[in-house]
Amino acid sequence: MNKKTEEKNWKLSYSQMIWRRFTKSRLNLACLIFVLFLFLLAVFAPFIANDKPFVIRIDGKFYFPLLRNLQPSDYCIFLAAALTVWYLLRRTPNGGKLNIKNQISKLQCKIQKGMPDSRYSNFAFLYVILLFAFLFLIFVLIFVFVPRRLDAVDYKEMVASGKATDAIFAPVPYGYARTELASCRQPPSRRHWLGTDDVGADVLCRLIHGSRISLSVGFVAVGISVCLGVLVGAILGYFGGWIDFVGMRFVEIMMAVPVFFLIITITAFFPRSFLNIMIIIGVTGWTSNARFIRAEFFKLRRQDFVQAAVSLGLPLRSILFRHILPNAVTPVLVNATFGISSAIFIEAALSFLGFGVAPPTPSWGQILSLGVSTSGRFLWWLTLFPGLAIFFTVMAYNVIGEGLRDATDPRLSKAV
Amino acid sequence: MKQDKVLLSVKRLSVNFFAEDAVLEAVQDVSFSIRKGQTFALVGESGCGKTTTALSIMQLLPAGQSKIVSGEIIFENQDLLKLSEKQMRRIRGNRITLISQEPMTSLNPVHKAGSQIAEAIRLHQNKNAKQAWADMVEMLRRVGIAEPEQTACAYPHQLSGGMQQRVMIAMAASCKPALLIADEPTTALDATIQVQILSLLDRLQKEIGMSILLVTHDLGVVYKRADVVAVMYASRIVEKAPKGQLFAEPFHPYTQGLMQSLPRLGVSVKRLQTILGAVPDPLHFPAGCKFHPRCPIGRKDRRCQTVEPELKEVQPGRSVACWYAPGCVTNNQIRNTKIN
């Protein structure tokens, strides 16, 4: 039985092999599904929790307040999500499960006969430029033409007073920025499933919208730190010698600095914006990535294929990032997964301490802090639910990171 | 020898390697020249400095651990040692290319075989992606790959050793280099594939008109392919001769020993001769001629044990570094070296 599976493994690509090992554990799969669920929640947050109805009839006319009140950031998130999905589908390796895509790529291969690698197609570069120009245009259009102000109409009031009919509300019919002082600090009830906070906003709604902050902080901060780490690590590892010596001492100095306090200090100097927090977490977190990449480059730079690339006269850029980096990227991917969870954690901690995003914008850490600080009374629902959200998200990322680490570790795969 | 026909001339090249606290003289005073269209073989045991010589022509020696101490490498009328890294990059892979010993590890596992060749073509010949891909497929066909398009899309681990070496050769020959350095091109291959690869190199050499620097320890390969042979022993060239003459009548005792250790077809020998002793430790080379402890003459001769012989031309086109080679010993030389 064991032999059979091993024979089968020869036919799998590297990514398929890792996928198979990763999904062997149910817990890994459950955590992956949980993270995907969080993503869906974050992307579609305005459709799930919103005080504007999808459709409403006022004086016999139909209006679509929810769509009209989508913010530029919402559109950007939709666009980013759509691009991610498109990219993932496009990158599915041959023999993957997405057969339609496979067929299309095979068809393309037939059309451009003798030129099956899309990287070398004549227009690839042009496509990329056009794509970026197009995206830029869309972003400009979004920011110019989408109104940034929510309308102040209370549609629920209109429905209650009979001015409007036929309203269809989102499942959680509350706005994250809507204050309702009459119903503040209420424990969970049928109206507010997870209770309300000190200004009367629905906690469930704020949790859902807060997931956007947490996830994007995680991804953008880790993106920044991975880019920085790869750049520094690649240069240190490839050149070695005194460059490596000086660089590694610098990295060690950076690692010796207590990052959390550094972040708190920096946030005190900069305006409390969501973007600043992402950048600060990213800029302070690159050291471990740099160390991983450096170690891998150190190992790989004397490999024959790197020597062969040098002997072909390829430029340094190509040697570093096209020939060495793809062979070195696995530990960084694993590390990045842990990085995401720690970035989420740091963001929650910052918001808890009041250094995070400014109040109308929801964040898990911020809701958490409301549970203890305000009136001396312990509002358990304000602490428990965001706490659980943070806990499960961080745990899911850590489990995924560990699963990936085990799946990519060749020693463990032989032992099984 | 006309100067304009010489493609590469290496003059008195010395390379040192730096171990922790010792200096290792990997190449000492090596000089040779390769003419256009010629195959020049560098033969020797492991560690005798033949690969180091080849790598120093490409300037691919490990930066921190080695240094070219002296010498000139003149290629197409410019000294490669004086070029900047940028200028050198334009020569590497374009005018001089390298086939290395291990085709399995010399191809990048994460890229398709074809894309690695196409990248070099794009870079050096200013071709666009489509043309480069077409050139690459044509090149694969020329190195005898039956289904070039499929092979181009395959990853290195999906190819056999012979195929991988063909891909490597295609990569090296794709830019029509003036000089191809083949570092043990057949060592990792089966005997049958070796013959195919050698004849492939032969054919490509005729088509492109390139010179080949063949680095090998395999005298069979040398006999089959080389025009001129240089035998290296302990960091130096000990004998340099046209192939026919070398195999017919080797002058240096080391070369003689090598020839005697070869089995020959049709000659029945009970026991092949071996060369006594082992290669000297590069950190502690013997004084005098480095071959003297293993040499039937040198073991008894004082001069061999104290004074190292220079490489001298003893016949037109033949040079030997041995006091006892025919036509080598003159009283003047002996007197001079003793005074020095």
ipTM value: 0.81
Q: Which tokens belong to A233?
A: 């690590």
Q: pLDDT by residue (tens digit) across B165-213? A: 889 999 988 888 999 999 888 887 888 888 888 899 999 999 888 999 9
What is the span of the domain harbouring residue A377?
2-50+176-415
- Supply the pLDDT for residue A13: 67
Note whether residue A188 is domain-resident.
Answer: yes
**Looking at this protein, which amino acid is placed at residue B280?**
P
Residues B79, B215, single domain; the answer is yes
Count: domains in chain A: 1
Q: Are residues B194 and B249 in the same domain?
A: no
- Does residue B86 sit in the same domain as residue B64? yes
Mean pLDDT of A170-194: 79
Residues B216 and B43: beta-carbon distance below 8 Å: yes
Is residue B14 located within the same domain as residue B71?
A: yes
The rounded distance, in Å, linking the Cα atoms of B45 and B31 is 18
What is d(CA A197, CA A368) in angstroms, rounded to the nearest whole number?
10
Residue-range definition of the domain harbouring residue B296: 236-262+272-339
Percent pLDDT > 90 in chain A is 17
Based on the structure, what is the number of domains in chain B?
A: 2
* Inside any domain, residue A258: yes
Q: How far is B106 from chain A (nearest CA, A)?
A: 4
| B141 and B276 in a common domain | no
Residue B60, domain CATH = 3.40.50.300
* Those residues with Cβ within 8 angstroms of residue B277's Cβ, 6 or more apart along the chain or in another chain: B293, B294
Q: Last residue of some domain: B226, B247, B281? A: B226
| Whether A119 and B129 lie within 8 Å, measured CB to CB | yes
Q: Is A112 inside a domain boundary?
A: no
Task: Write down the pLDDT at residue B212.
Answer: 93
Say if residue B68 is in the same domain as residue B183. Answer: yes
Domain annotation covers residue B34: yes
Task: Identify the contact set of chain B against chain A, taking CB-CB distances under 8 A.
Answer: 58, 60, 62-64, 88-94, 97-98, 100, 102, 105-112, 114-115, 118-120, 123-124, 128-130, 132-134, 137, 149, 152-153, 168, 171
Q: Does B217 share its domain with B256?
A: no
CA distance B92 to chain A (A): 5
**B168: which 2 tokens?**
């490597």
Whether residue B8 contacts residue B34, with contact meaning beta carbons closer than 8 Å, is answered with: yes
Are residues B295 and B206 both part of a single domain?
A: no
CATH of the domain at A216: 1.10.3720.10
pTM of the model: 0.77
CB A217 within 8 A of CB A211: no
For residue range B208-238, what is the model confidence (pLDDT) as tens digits?
Answer: 889 999 999 888 888 888 999 999 998 899 9
- How confident is residue B105, by pLDDT bands cut at 50, 70 and 90? confident
Asked whether residue B125 falls in the same domain as residue B46, the answer is yes
Domain assignment present for A340: yes
- Within 8 A of B149 by CB-CB distance, chain A residues are 114, 116
The pLDDT of residue B317 is above 50: yes
Residues B252 and B178 in one domain: no
In a domain, A397, yes or no: yes
Residues of A in contact with B152 (CB under 8 A): 116-117
Decide if B231 is inside a domain. Answer: no
Residue A117: list chain B partners with CB under 8 A: 112, 114-115, 118, 133, 152-153
A343-347, A409-413, B287-291, B329-333: segment of lowest average pLDDT? B329-333
A residues 301-320 closer than 8 Å to B (CB): 302-305, 307-315, 318
Chain B interface, best mutation among A106, A311, A316, A317, by max B CB count within 10 A? A311
Residue A229 has pLDDT above 90, yes or no: yes
- Tell me the CA distances in angstroms from B61 to A74, A305, B54, B56, B281, one per residue in order: 55, 15, 9, 6, 21
pLDDT tops 60 at residue B257: yes
Does a structural domain hold residue A253? yes
Six-digit token string for B96? 């001089």
pLDDT above 50: residue A86: yes
Same-domain status, B309 and B210: no
Q: Is the pLDDT of residue B2 over 50?
A: no
Q: Does B120 contact A314 at a Cβ distance shorter than 8 Å?
A: yes
In a domain, B328, yes or no: yes
Indicate whether A119 pLDDT > 60: no
